[in-house]
Amino acid sequence: MSTMLRKLIMAAPLVGGCCAVQAQTDAPKYEIGVHVGALVYQGDLTPSSPGSFKTMKPAIGLSASRLLNPWFSVRANLVWGKLAGDDAAYASPAWRRQRNFNFNASVTEVSVLGVWNIFGNNGNTERRGFSPYLFGGAGYSFVNIRRDWSKMNTSVYDAESTVQAGLNADSAHGVPRGMPVFPVGVGIRYPITSSLSLSAEAAYRFSFSDYLDGFSKSGNPVKKDHYTS
């Protein structure tokens, strides 16, 4: 066996060991996520501004993140879900069951978010314990809204009432097919393995439409509609 061949054979394990160690120290640059949760509607058909869990609906989503550095990342989100509101779900105030508006909508939301990892451990496969983070960004929601006022008590809300006048304006306005949204939220992550984590997060969507539920003039035209997840 030649001297050169013997040197190559002896060096091979050293080269392999070097490469394996280097691969383990490379921090990941991308993450993917699968989301399961719920959407909560906030608008004219709920008794309080935070919305109501009585009419929350399921949602699922996918995400892909690019880690920029230990503190910041950019995340693309795709969410599918439903929204609903129903006056009849609330016994107080009593007028809600007399007005008896309801709606439901399917939602497909796409958004791009900036994410701040407060502990600055993005890409650290050896991290332990909980990691909190904040996020915000912009997106667009494609919606299919179905509103219903057929159960309204017309003996209470007759043709002379302000609700009926507002309803005439709303029915002439129509409903949007989509709207810009601006999600902001907070989350916390816990690592299960070096490549798998569980997260819990809450997000609020700002919007500039009062027709997410299909009603505005017949409800509260001063406040816009929103939803959370």
pLDDT mean over 110-123? 94
Residues 6+ apart with CB under 8 A from 142: 107, 108, 109, 177, 178
Q: What pLDDT, on a 0 to 100 scale, did the predictor assign at position 26?
A: 64
pTM of the model: 0.83
* pLDDT tens, position by position, 11-26: 333 333 333 333 334 6
Delineate the domains of the chain, giving CATH numbers in brackets. 29-228 (2.40.160.20)
* pLDDT tens, position by position, 138-191: 999 999 999 999 999 999 999 889 999 999 999 999 899 999 999 999 999 999
Beta strands, E only, the chain: 30-42, 57-67, 72-86, 102-117, 131-148, 178-193, 196-207, 226-228
